[in-house]
Amino acid sequence: MDKLIQLGSEIASLWQKSGLQYLRGAGDTILLAVIATLAGCVIGFACGILQTIPVRQRDNAFKKTVVGIVKAIVRVYVEVFRGTPMILQAVFVYFAIPFFSNNAVRLDVTTAAYLVVSINTGAYMAETVRGGILSIDKGQTEGAKAIGMTHFQTMLFVILPQTLRNILPQIGNNLIINIKDTSVMFIIGYTELFAVHKALVGGNYLYFPSAVITMGIYLILTLTCSLLLRLMERKMDGPANFDVATTDSLAHTSGMYSFVKKRGARS
Amino acid sequence: MSILDIRHLSKSFGKHQVLTDINFSVEKGDVTSIIGASGSGKSTLLRCINLLETPSGGEILYHGENILSMKKSEAAYRARVGMVFQSFNLFYNMNVLENCVIGQTRVLRKKRKEAVETAIRFLNQVGMTPFVKAKPAQLSGGQKQRVAIARAMAMSPEVLLFDEPTSALDPEMVGEVLAVMQKLAQDGMTMLVVTHEMAFARDVSNHVVFMHEGVIREEGDPKQLFAKPQTEEMRSFLSRFREQ
Ligand SMILES: Nc1ncnc2c1ncn2[C@@H]1O[C@H](COP(=O)(O)OP(=O)(O)OP(=O)(O)O)[C@@H](O)[C@H]1O
Ligand SMILES: [Mg+2]
């Protein structure tokens, strides 16, 4: 009990002194996570769409070649960024660009952090979107084609909206992973919540109280995001019931019908 | 000139030849029923006509023009030749009204107001106006199929293809869909219907095509065909329905 009271008072005094710094760190974390997740979605949708372009036998050789090359590039991108740790990707991007450009081009820390998390998320989203598109019933495409929609229109109005709805939980997953995993950006000196914690305890040695505060903030951020995403899903699903437009009494009586001969047979 | 003229059409999936030398034509106002045993190639034929499958050989003339050689306007052709599927294929992300509006605004580039009016007119015809705000998942099979018919009709197609529109329905809902189709036929709509409803083929259509193992075995006037089948295959096919 004593311990808890001690912890409580240490947390309170730490919060009083450095609360603003934690909040600023939390702000940087959530901003990076949200923007990089959105950018990742854009990249993911672009890649997912490119990977599902249908190639048919009667298409010309040029189209087949171009589509083939583009698909290969996307595959390499996905495999590389899914298959390596984000912490190393950060180091790579941050140091490789100055190295190859002889220091002519330098990324500032913030840009590098946003870039790396976006590209990394994009690689995961590309697979999610591809799977999402493939999981939509083939009949949806055929229904759209049958009323004269082009491939582009079919994607835009029919397939992608359904894909988006279906993968929304996955997008939420990525956002929550990003809120936590952006902490690795301390490696290139980006100061988000975890970096604030590290910096503070370096001076005051209050490891445990600070960890409690930091954990609490991370939890609040992720729980809030979960909640908002749930609301978004519900909004996209629309009301569970529909209003019957009762102004007309044209509801069909089913079951009874008798055929009347249409006209003389064709000669 | 015929609206559609199918000439020497063939289709194979790999080595499996599904359609062989199919020839027939569709005149304005025709209601043609395609009948035949399961696996005889009826769906494949319809899907070839709508270019959902690419034929392996032969020609499909639409007002005399071979649609297989004018590749780029595939979508425009499909807008003129509508299709109603066994599995409805309504867009799940839209309500009933939007299902019937989207093709008009996006493909035909009509003004939204006009498109809504047209959609309501056809939904009214199939008795679905009370359900304009419903999502497809909230409808019964028969209701879905009636919406699908309204969606196809809202594009003002010249020909409407039906692939077993009642086969996925519970028996008590078959009637409501057939009644809608019969009304369309009476109004002069040109229709090509793959069906297992022999009463429809005999009483509503004015032309019947009987398929067997990828070829047309008999075709002609429904009354004569049903009264006096010429081939053993057609006789045995029909006898299966009589026994029921
Ligand atoms: N995509 C495909 N790939 C390979 N074979 C196919 C494909 N689609 C159809 N087939 C084959 O083509 C043949 C004809 O099929 P189709 O669906 O046209 O028959 P159907 O007359 O419509 O039968 P049903 O009355 O059962 O609907 C069948 O043997 C089927 O297995
Ligand atoms: Mg079939």
The three state secondary structure string of chain A is CHHHHHHHHHHHHHHHHHHHHHHHHHHHHHHHHHHHHHHHHHHHHHHHHHHCCCCCCCCCHHHHHHHHHHHHHHHHHHHHHHCCCHHHHHHHHHHHHHHHCCCCCCCCHHHHHHHHHHHHHHHHHHHHHHHHHHHCCHHHHHHHHHCCCCHHHHHHHHHHHHHHHHHHHHHHHHHHHHHHHHHHHHHHCCCCHHHHHHHHHHHHCCHHHHHHHHHHHHHHHHHHHHHHHHHHHHHHHCCCCCCCCCCCCCCCCCCCCCCCCCCCCCC
Q: Is the pLDDT of residue A86 over 90?
A: yes
* pLDDT confidence of residue A247: 47
Chain B residues with CB under 8 Å of A259 CB are 182, 199-200, 203-204
Interface test with B, best of A252, A263, A267 (most B CBs within 10 A): A252
- Smallest CA–CA distance, residue B213 to chain A, in Å, is 25
Higher pLDDT, A141 or A238: A141
Residue-number span of the structural domain to which A186 is assigned: 2-266
Q: Does A6 touch chain B (CB under 8 A)?
A: no
| CB contact (8 A) between residue B175 and residue A157 | no
| CB contact (8 A) between residue A256 and residue B31 | no
Q: Is the pLDDT of residue A233 over 70?
A: yes
Chain A residues with CB under 8 Å of B107 CB are 147-149, 153
Q: Does A148 touch chain B (CB under 8 A)?
A: yes
> Nearest by CB to B155, which of A148, A253, A265?
A148
Q: Is the pLDDT of residue A263 over 50?
A: no
Chain B residues with CB under 8 Å of A263 CB are 206
* pLDDT confidence of residue B243: 58
Q: Which of A40-44, A133-137, A235-239 has the lowest mean pLDDT?
A: A235-239
* pLDDT confidence of residue B244: 53
Residues A64 and A92: their CA atoms lie apart, in Å, by 34
Using one digit for the tens of pLDDT, what is the confidence trace for A96-126? Answer: 888 888 888 888 899 999 999 999 999 999 9
User: pLDDT class for A71, splitting at 50, 70, 90?
Assistant: very high
Query: What is the pTM for the complete model shown?
Result: 0.87
Ligand 1, atom 5, residue with closest C-alpha: B13
Q: Does A147 touch chain B (CB under 8 A)?
A: yes
Ligand 1, atom 7, residue with closest C-alpha: B13
Q: Which atom of ligand 1 is nearest to the CA of B46?
A: 18
Q: Which residues of A184-214 are buried (b: 16+ CB within 10 A; e: fewer)?
A: bbbebebbbbbbbbeebbeeeebeebbebbb
* pLDDT confidence of residue B61: 94
With contact defined as beta carbons under 8 Å apart, do A158 and A150 qualify?
no
- The chain A residue lying nearest B92, using CA atoms, is A162
| CB contact (8 A) between residue B89 and residue A248 | no
> Which residues sit with Cβ closer than 5 angstroms to ligand 2, an ion?
B 43
* pLDDT confidence of residue A264: 46
**Domain CATH number, residue A96:** 1.10.3720.10
- Number of structural domains in chain A: 1
Using one digit for the tens of pLDDT, what is the confidence trace for A48-68? Answer: 999 888 887 777 888 889 999
Q: Which atom of ligand 1 is nearest to the CA of B214?
A: 14
Report the residue among B10, B12, B18, B198 best suited for mutation to probe ligand 1: largest number of ligand atoms under 8 A from its CB. Answer: B18
* pLDDT confidence of residue A260: 45
> Nearest by CB to B204, which of A248, A262, A266?
A262
Query: What value does the mean pLDDT take over residues A211-219?
Result: 94
Q: Is the pLDDT of residue A166 over 90?
A: yes
Using one digit for the tens of pLDDT, what is the confidence trace for A176-187? Answer: 999 999 999 988
User: pLDDT class for A95, splitting at 50, 70, 90?
Assistant: confident
| CB contact (8 A) between residue A254 and residue B203 | no
Q: Which residues approach ligand 1 with their CB closer than 6 A? A: B 13, 16, 18, 36, 38-44
Residues B220 and B169: their CA atoms lie apart, in Å, by 28
- Low pLDDT (below 50) residues in chain B: none
Q: Which of A22-26, A81-85, A258-262, B181-185 has the lowest mean pLDDT?
A: A258-262
* pLDDT confidence of residue B42: 96
